[in-house]
A and B are shown apart, each in its own frame.
Chain A
Amino acid sequence: MIYNAKYERMPCEELMQLQIERLQSTLNRVYRNVAFYKDSFDENKIDIGKIRSIGDMRQLPFTTKEDLRKSYPYNMFAVPLRDIVRIHSTTGRTGKPIAIGYTRNDILHWSELVARVLAGAGVTDNDFVQIAFDYNMFTGGFGLHYGAEKIGASVIPSSQSGNVQRQILIMKDYKTTVLLSTPSYALRIAGNLKEMGIHPDELNLKSGLFGAEPWDEATRDRIEERLHLSAFNMYGVNEMMGPGVSGECSEKNGLHINEDHYIVEIIDPLSWEPLPHGVEGELVITTITREGFPLIRYRTGDLSSIIDEACPCGRTTLRMHRVAARSDDMVVINGMNVFPAQVGDVLKKTTGINPRFQIIIDDVEGEDVLELQVEVLENMFDDEIKKLMDLKYGIAAGIERELGVSAKVIFVEQMTMFRTSEGKVKKVIDKR
């Protein structure tokens, strides 16, 4: 179903006019109201009056996560604080968090965008939508809630935190028809179903929308097989309000981008040069309707590519390929973002040196399991088993504390780790 045909099926020429109007007014606003952008445009000698087409955007500088951190908490807001009606934030696990402000209009747009994504997966006002995303500083729970409510579905805000089995009982008793969660959590639910002796056919699940972490087609198959539902992919970024950037239609071949609110580009993550449609690179997004927290050419760190062929579903918007990886090696383990560099930091802190390491992630009964292999160096080696064990536990505790995930630590001999064809140790091996 197409929620808003006017925009989702907008002829290309009309969309281009709308995009340039919105881009120009966004640029005029950020230049006037956000010191970061004024300085950045002035420094790069950019005359925003000369940005005449979407193609001209290439002249504009990028915005990075680091820029947002430096502006913490409110320096990137483009409206006075009294116009902000909501603040969400990133976890700040990899550094300072980022505060994300929303105006009243931003919240209205957010609801609309999520409603489109949900409708794309066939959600209607007859559905019981169970939202197994946390309702907190993280954007997932609230964003999906607004969208589902806007469609008129019966919303069950079950959240992710807490007992999985209780989640399943709610699903069973309330006759949930649509599940919204991370793909890994969906698999956890599937694993627990088995444990509880509930057959998926005893549930009323019809479809599910999954996102907030990179996943692949094999995971889609596993979820569909174990939960007996039709699984759809959705994509969002906290910094882009949260869910609602793009979502799959019934074709399940790429995610339709809400182009009347977001302009997407793909760049080479190393040279920062724009890449043509179809080529994979880092996803860069510019907001063109946002009032509270507009972002120009924001580097998401997610790897994707653009599909510009017509879609049989009738939507005219560009599609993006599923995000399967990140340009910065970030992996999501049980819903937690983990960067290999953080693991390196923990190792440095606990051992005092920089040993080589490898993160191996596997799926055991729907739970992500993290194994950390650490290369034992001469100067680390100790005859005393106890000391080695202490070190091992020290590392595991450090990982748990700093990253929020538990890890099994294994010491391995030199040169035994899996290497790439170039002989480099791959930091992450994802077996999921």
Chain B
Amino acid sequence: MLKIRNLHSGYGNLRVLKGVSLHVNAGEIVTIIGGNGSGKSTLLRTAAGIVAAQEGEILFNGKDISYAAPEKIVGAGCSLVPEGRMIFDTMTVRENLVLGAYARIRSARLKDMEAELAVIYSMFSRLREREHQLGGTLSGGEQQMLAIGRALMAQPKLIMLDEPSMGLAPIIVKNIFEEIRKLRDAGNTILLVEQNARAALRIADRGYVIETGQIVMEGTSEELLNNTTCSGRIWGKIIRA
């Protein structure tokens, strides 16, 4: 579904990604794990078109989206749930969700919208309860659910999640990851970027370990969990974090 080859990207003169190649097959959860500043988020932002690629290619369902604008990428079916959730605090839960469908607003009729909202609400019942509450008044976990729900409103083929566990209590993290697993089981394809390596690998099918902008390891989740070098050298600090 998603194929990235030799991707170089960064900010101005700062090169963050140095030749990253990876792929995500339909129906998989693939996780990218790595420490602070390893380039995880830059990778997702580049794939989403927010940061411009400097070199390499990103193919989404065979279509080159390396230099496409963010809204075009969302339109193609690739949605990002950004780091820190980035929900609109002063809008209601419902308004946040409706905005998620913005990229396809012309084709989405209001009547259909109700049905789609119902799907999201059935998935996250807390959002229904707080439908008319302002986004800023939700708890961290609820905000994360809202951010995921908003991404789903674009009816994506691929959902990219940037650190969904960030700033959440362990029990909430567990719930969120359980929801992500359910999304996959319902047929969605997920690219999950995480610092919380162990939690991510527990639900992922495969993973890549990124270090200073380069992939240093790839494999099934089982293989990566087996690798004690990972747990010791690369992600010892990550797990403690």
Q: Which residues of A contact B (CB under 8 A)?
A: 17-18, 20-22, 24-25, 28-29, 32, 48-52, 79-80, 82-83, 103-105, 108, 289, 291
Contact = CB atoms under 8 A, between A and B. Distances in A.
A25 B112 CA distance: 45
Nearest to A292: B229
Given A17-B3, A17-B5, A50-B19, A22 B218 contact: yes
Given A20-B5, A21-B22, A105 B227 contact: yes
Interface stretch (B66-74, B148-156, B161-169, B209-217): B209-217
B216 A105 contact: no
Secondary structure of the B contact surface, majority rule: strand
Contacts of B219: 105, 289
B216 A29 contact: yes
Nearest to A291: B227
B216 A28 contact: yes
Given A49-B8, A80-B233, A28 B215 contact: yes
B5 A291 contact: no
A17 B233 contact: no
Contacts of A51: 19
B19 A29 contact: no
A24 B19 contact: yes
17 contacts: A17-B21, A17-B23, A18-B23, A20-B5, A20-B6, A21-B23, A24-B20, A28-B211, A28-B215, A29-B216, A32-B211, A48-B19, A52-B56, A80-B233, A83-B228, A105-B226, A289-B219
Interface centre among A20, A21, A50, A291 (most CB of B within 10 A): A21
Given A21-B208, A291-B229, 7 more contacts: A21-B22, A21-B218, A25-B217, A28-B215, A50-B19, A105-B223, A105-B227
A32 B210 CA distance: 13
A20 B217 contact: no
Contact of A21 (B215, B226, B227, B228): B215
Contacts of A49: 8, 18-19, 214
Given A49-B8, A83-B228, A25 B23 contact: no
A20 B20 CA distance: 10
Nearest to B6: A52
Given A25-B217, A25-B218, A52-B5, A108 B18 contact: no
Contacts of B20: 24
Contact of A24 (B214, B227, B229): B214
A335 to B, nearest CB: 34
B21 to A, nearest CB: 5
Interface in B195-241: 208, 211, 214-219, 223, 226-229, 232-233
A103 B8 CA distance: 31
Given A21-B215, A28-B214, A29-B217, A83 B229 contact: yes
Contacts of A22: 218
Which 7 residue pairs of A and B lie closest in terms of their CB atoms, listed nearest first? A49-B19, A49-B18, A52-B6, A28-B214, A25-B215, A21-B21, A28-B216
Interface in B175-209: 208
A79 B229 contact: yes
A48 B19 CA distance: 8
A52 B19 contact: yes
Contacts of A48: 19
Contacts of A104: 226-228
Given A21-B23, A49-B19, A108 B226 contact: yes
B63 to A, nearest CB: 15
Interface in B12-60: 18-23, 56
A291 B218 CA distance: 11
A38 to B, nearest CB: 14
A50 B18 CA distance: 9
A17 B19 CA distance: 13
B201 to A, nearest CB: 14
Nearest to A22: B218
B17 to A, nearest CB: 9
Nearest to B231: A83
Nearest to A18: B23
A20 B5 CA distance: 8
A24 B21 contact: yes
Given A79-B229, A105-B219, A105-B223, A20 B214 contact: no
Contacts of A52: 5-6, 19, 56
Contacts of A18: 23
A50 B8 CA distance: 10
A49 B20 CA distance: 8
